[in-house]
Structure 1
Amino acid sequence: MRDMLCCGAGASSDHRRSTGKMAAPILSAALYGIRTGRAFGTAAALCKRAAPLGPMPNEDIDVSNLEALEKYRSFTRYFKVAEKESKKTPWWQTYRKLVTPEQDEEAKIDIGLPYYRPPRAKQLKERKEILKQNRQSMEMERASRLRTLVIPLDEVKAEWEKTSGQLHKQRVAEHYGIYRNMFDEATFVPSVVLRVEYNLDDEHVMPVYHGNFVTPTEASSPPEVIYEADEGSLWTLLLTNLDGHLRDADSEYIHWLVTNIPGNNIDLGKEICHYFPPFPAKGTGYHRFVFLLFKQDRPIDFTEDVRPTPCHSLKMRTFKTFDFYKKHQNDMTPAGLAFFQCQWDDSVTHVFHNHLNMKEPVFEFVRPPVYHPPQKKFPHLQPLRYLDRYRDSHEPTYGIY
């Protein structure tokens, strides 16, 4: 600074005048820093980052000597180490934990039948053996080359249902909130394969899987339910609507309940509540209709749950699966699961008028008014239509001016 001012003093008047203009801001900034007690070094010190709360990744690696590090030599070894490290819980907050609410998986109570999952290593070993045999098969190679190879899809599906299919169904049910709304966060693995089909005509059927769409017209009559059962076993079949109650959001409507079923013969079971077709009200979106299969340990007396026949009262069909299971949990266990989604169609009007003897309720989503921030007197960089938000009339500004 002193050198700069000295150079300015020995120069010409014009040069001295311009140098003085340049030096004045620098001098004033230095004097201002002295007066306020905050120098440039102090400001830099205030911007220093705080120390991390834990060790940072790769902090223990000596960057100056990378050749001394152990080499992986193969992608497989690297992948194994990366998988092992990814399963460790870091001390920092991850994006997944930030956007996903914390759910304690161990806190969930498993109320289903015992489920045995073979070790993953054993499954992979068996698959490798099968792939090795298929590669060595000349007949399969020739059929694949000539595009005549036929894959037995029924056998593939049966194998999937016995192995990983049960866990996949459980994951889908958790995604749709089935366990959360029926058993208050309890869960189970649907170990019994439950097949439900609605007969449309002599040749066509509408199956129920795990979340597919079925119209009320297609589900107007009782379906055909098939499952494998040992001789002498007893079962209970339930069909309930989780989203259809018109007065209480936490309650359900029971559509079908058959108890003390010997084996897999539904016709020989005790029908506690006869089948009632779906009636999702207009404007309420998709409803979840759940088929739930319970395995009984012994014959159960369901006298308290009996509904009259016919039962066309919504009050008498009000139901809660959680209370029903809690009352009989010592004598039966959930074993099978299937559900579909259903939306209003013309047949729902017929159900309300002719079966329930009531006017059909129609719902509509009332959108909240559009929010506009307070009007600015000088809306900088706003289009001309900005004024239309605050005009009393509906006449647009666009095209007038």
Structure 2
Amino acid sequence: MFALRKPVFTSRFLSTVAKAMNDHGIVPDVLKDAPDNLIQVSYPNDVVVKLGNELTPTQVKERPSVLWEANANSFYTLCMTDPDAPSRAEPTFREWHHWLVGNIPGKQVPLGDVLSDYIGSGPPEGTGLHRYVFLVFQQNGKIAFDEPRLPNNSGDKRGCFSIAKFAEKYKLELIAGNFYQAQYDDYVPILYKQLGE
């Protein structure tokens, strides 16, 4: 009897995710270990997140659609976080989380509990490229999160966050990730007005 082997495409593909996260310093800046699986993240106008590609704040201002391999009977947590706040050289607010949704049934993000509503990228002028990291964690079951619910018209309570500590607190298992990079463009002042800054 022969054991089934994973196709070469899959093993190469999985290592690509971890390699990109290691190459871009997401390990260790955000995570101790990178996931092997990819989250598909797409914005309107066919803008797709591709393991570190550069996008603009204008391109990512709307909430994206997010897909990953999910069990329909399980619950998941999705996070988007920026470890480079206010800059990669001086990340004094590491991490600034942009989006946090828990209790997602299967991969149905709109049915999850929004803990922090989506805010697009807003890197300050002159701070270079920021990394915006999407992570999906599998939960052990439905969770009664004791986190504040944060709207998308304020930046309060979003800085100095740690998705690794959050995952440890709620016993979440990291299963997938993706990320893009962005720097200041002329949409950023509009976003700051939305946040009351």
TM-score (norm 1): 0.45
Match status 1:269 vs 2:112 = yes
Residue 278 of structure 1 aligns with which residue?
121
Structure 2 unmatched runs, 5+: none
The reply to whether residue 344 of structure 1 matches residue 190 of structure 2 is no
212 and 248 in structure 1: CA distance in 2 versus 1, 3 angstrom threshold:
closer
Match of 1:197 in 2: 42
Residues 2-401 of structure 1: matches in 2 within 5 Å?
160=9, 162-183=10-31, 186-191=32-37, 193-200=38-45, 205-245=46-86, 249=92, 251-303=94-146, 305-314=147-156, 316-318=157-159, 319-329=161-171, 332-352=172-192, 354-358=193-197
**Equivalent pair of 1:245/1:252 in contact (CA under 8 Å):** no
The structure whose RCO (Cα within 8 Å, separation 6+) is larger is 2
Rate the CA distance shift 1:243–1:235 in 2: closer, same or farther, 3 A: same
Alpha-carbon distance, 1:306 to partner: 2.5
For the 8 Å contact 2:117–2:152, the answer to whether it is kept is yes
- Residues 278-330 of structure 1 show CA distances to partners (whole Å, capped at 9, x for unaligned) of 10011010000000000111111212x2233345134x11112232122123x
For 1:240-288, what per-residue CA distance to the aligned partner results, in whole angstroms no more than 9, with x for missing partners?
A: 1110237852621111011000011111111111001110011010000
Per-residue CA deviation, residues 189-247 of structure 1 (Å, 9 max, x unaligned), is 323x31100012xxxx1000100011000000000111221221111100011102378
Larger relative helix fraction: 1
* CA positional deviation for 1:173: 0.7
DSSP-derived class of the 1:163 partner: helix
Cα deviation for residue 349 of structure 1 reads 1.4
Question: What is the DSSP-based 3-state SS (H/G/I as helix, E as strand, rest coil) of the residue aligned with 1:164?
Answer: helix
Cα deviation, residue 357, structure 1? 2.6
Q: Which has the larger radius of gyration?
A: 1
Preserved CA contact (<8 Å) 2:132 2:179: yes
Shift of 1:336: 0.5
Hey, what's the Cα distance between the residues in 2 that align with 1:299 and 1:311?
27
1:338-385 per-position Cα deviation (integer Å, ceiling 9, x unaligned): 000001100001112x21333xxxxxxxxxxxxxxxxxxxxxxxxxxx
Greater share of strand residues, 1 or 2?
2
Whole-angstrom distance in 2 between the partners of 1:227 and 1:296: 14
- CA apart distance, 1:175: 0.7
Q: Report if the CA contact (8 A) 2:153-2:195 is conserved.
A: no
CA contact (8 A) 2:128 2:183 kept: yes
Task: Tell me the distance in 2 between the aligned counterparts of 1:313 and 1:189.
Answer: 28
- Structure 2 Cα separation of the partners of residues 224 and 272 of structure 1: 17
Q: The residue matched to 2:187 in structure 1 has which SS?
A: helix
> Distance between the aligned counterparts of 1:232 and 1:196, measured in 2?
22
Of all paired residues, the percent bearing the same amino acid is: 29
For residues 73-100 of structure 1, give each alpha carbon's deviation from its aligned partner in whole angstroms, at most 9, with x where no partner exists: xxxxxxxxxxxxxxxxxxxxxxxxxxxx
TM-score (norm 2): 0.88
Consecutive unaligned residues in structure 1, runs of 5 or more: 1-117, 127-158, 359-401
